[in-house]
């Protein structure tokens, strides 16, 4: 069987495109986000949130080695439902928003742990202190885009967010949800 030169040319172009798509990252655009947290203070559970999320998401479940996520929130958007507490949390001993306007997460690697479950390693920077943390997350793709959901805890003392206190727990639970489109 002989093939025409045009057929071979088209087949070659198709093969090249197929190889190239294996190396192209899937860029996602942030449509909506929620970043919330919980911490015990004086025996009561305090719920809060941070806003103004910015994210650069290059995520491909089939190519995790080339996938990256960089996201941040503005520290001055902290909201706990009590204005006086919010003002206090913006001060130097807590988030020091004048000097450190953003909390940033930058992925360093990712691995698959289930059909839609992943474990990412992030450099988390709060108040100028960066620590590498593990963040389990779930990514569910749908016709309109996808959803990233993560839940993890961190020790506020690792980031110099106030000193140790019998009134406030050291562990903070963090919940992140990112709704994305292509």
Domain chopping of the chain, boundaries: 25-181
Confidence of residue 5 (pLDDT cuts 50, 70, 90): low
Fold designation for 25-181: Lipocalin (2.40.128)
Nearest to 178 by CA among 56, 80, 79: 56
At 161 the pLDDT is 96
Q: pLDDT tens across 115-158, in order?
A: 999 999 999 999 999 999 999 999 999 999 999 999 999 999 99
Residue reference for tokens 């294996």: 22
Supply the DSSP symbol for 82.
Answer: -
At 153 the pLDDT is 98
Q: pLDDT tens across 52-102, in order?
A: 999 999 999 999 999 999 999 999 999 999 999 999 999 999 999 999 999
Confidence of residue 45 (pLDDT cuts 50, 70, 90): very high
At 72 the pLDDT is 98
Q: Distance between CA 155 and CA 57 in Å, rounded?
A: 26
At 92 the pLDDT is 96
What is the reported pTM? 0.85
Answer with the residue of higher pLDDT: 2 or 73. 73
CA distance readout (Å), 77 to 66, 103, 148: 32, 11, 21
Q: How would you classify the pairing of strands 145-155 and 27-41?
A: unpaired
At 174 the pLDDT is 98
Task: Kindly provide the residue ranges of all beta strands, DSSP E only, lying in 80-170, ordered along the sequence.
Answer: 102-112, 117-126, 129-142, 145-155
Nearest to 49 by CA among 77, 87, 90, 26: 77
């Amino acid at each position: 069987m002989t093939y025409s030169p045009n057929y071979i040319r088209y087949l070659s172009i198709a093969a090249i495109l197929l190889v190239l798509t294996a190396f192209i990252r899937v860029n996602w655009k942030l449509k909506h986000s929620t970043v919330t947290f919980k911490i015990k203070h004086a025996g009561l559970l305090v719920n809060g949130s941070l806003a103004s999320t910015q994210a650069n998401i290059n995520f491909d479940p089939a190519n995790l080695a080339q996938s990256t996520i960089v996201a941040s929130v503005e520290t001055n958007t902290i909201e706990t439902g009590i204005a006086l507490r919010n003002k206090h949390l913006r001060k130097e001993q807590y988030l020091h928003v004048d000097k450190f306007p953003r909390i940033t997460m930058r992925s360093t690697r990712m691995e698959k742990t289930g059909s839609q479950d992943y474990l990412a390693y992030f450099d988390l920077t709060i108040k100028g202190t960066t620590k590498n943390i593990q963040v389990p997350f779930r990514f569910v793709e749908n016709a309109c885009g996808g959803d990233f959901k993560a839940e993890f805890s961190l020790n506020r003392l690792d980031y110099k967010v106030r000193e140790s206190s019998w009134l406030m727990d050291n562990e903070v639970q963090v919940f992140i949800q990112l709704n994305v489109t292509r």
